[in-house]
Amino acid sequence: MLTKRIVPCLDIKDGRTVKGVNFVDLRDAGDPVTLAKQYAELGADELVFLDITATKEKRRTLHDMVLKVAEQVNIPFTVGGGISSVEDVDDLLHCGADKVSINSAAVKRPELINELSAKFGSQCVVVAIDAKQIEGEWFVHLAGGSIPTNIKLFDWAKEVEQRGAGEILFTSMNHDGTKAGFANKALAKLSELVNIPIIASGGAGTMQHFADTFKEGKADAALAASVFHFGEIAIRDLKEVLKNQDIPVRL
């Protein structure tokens, strides 16, 4: 049986992890490669690296990091942040990334999804959608959730699937950072609407939140950052809890 995936997300700036990480005694917790290896050993199913480096000149640093991660880590990983062209993706895949995640660039130019899936295959194209619920309706937001659009979440999700996305990473801006649980109603609706895997993001606070997003939210994977980085939730313990609730996990 296909298992539900637990996905730690690492924010990267200038080739280093941004937020402090204190769940293990690492000599260099700012080194993404050390951290990625550690997470792989602790039972993470996949990793996401989100590059928040502002300048184009620093892309080389990101490429070096991706190359090192690919060299040393034996589980799949996705790279996202600032990707806007076929060339960007070509570079990252050549460095050994398994998947790339595109967000604002896809909203600005949806054909990019078609181009990427035609050239590299749907399996490596993750479309990240940040959305906020305003008066009952979900709207897509850009630039890390700061710029609203009039695009409706469910219309956009359907469109990205039709254009060839292999997976959707959905972040609820209403839930992100709250530690009060994932946006399970919207997630369940997404899962019914499209036939590609959905990664739930935003709101993880407790182990039960993960169980809820797999059961009620019908998510295929759940992504979180701080609960893992600060040692609030250990991945093995989380998987035991999920298993006890009959949720299939890799242990």
Partner 1 sequence: MDLKIIDYGAGNIKSIQFAFQRLGIDAILSSNPEDIISAEKVIFPGVGEASSAMKKLKDSGLDKVIPQLTQPVLGICLGMQLMCNHSEEGNTQGLGIFDVDVKKFKNDVKVPQMGWNVIKNLKSELFENINEGDYMYLVHSYYAEICPEAIATTDYKIEYASALQKENFYGVQFHPEKSGLIGEQLLKNFINL
Strands 16-17 and 125-134: unpaired
How is residue 48 written in tokens? 């996401």
Bridge partners for 49 per DSSP: 10, 79
Catalytic pick among 45, 88, 91, 130: 130
Q: Note if 11 is an active site residue.
A: yes
Amino acid sitting at position 33: V
Q: Establish if 193 lies at the interface with partner 1 (CB under 8 A).
A: no
User: Segment 210-249, which members bind partner 1 (CB under 8 A)?
Assistant: 220-221
State the minimum distance, in angstroms, from the CB of residue 119 to partner 1.
Answer: 8
Cβ atoms of 64 and 32 closer than 8 Å: no
Residue among 122, 70, 110 nearest 92 (CA): 70
State the minimum distance, in angstroms, from the CB of residue 18 to partner 1.
Answer: 25
Interface with partner 1 by CB under 8 A: which range of 56-64, 190-198, 223-231, 235-243? 190-198
| Euclidean distance between CA atoms 219 and 5, whole angstroms | 9
Binding string, 5-44, against partner 1, x = CB under 8 A?
x----------------------------------x----
Q: Note if 130 is an active site residue.
A: yes
CA 134 distance to own-chain centroid: 23
| Euclidean distance between CA atoms 129 and 119, whole angstroms | 22
Q: Establish if 122 lies at the interface with partner 1 (CB under 8 A).
A: yes
The correct pick among 21, 106, 124, 140 for binding partner 1 (CB under 8 A) is 124
Give every CB contact of residue 195 below 8 A, 6+ residues apart in sequence.
161
Interface with partner 1 by CB under 8 A: which range of 12-20, 49-57, 74-82, 101-109? 74-82
Residues that bind partner 1 (CB under 8 A): 1-5, 40, 45-46, 70-72, 74-76, 93-96, 98, 120-124, 166-167, 195-197, 220-221, 250
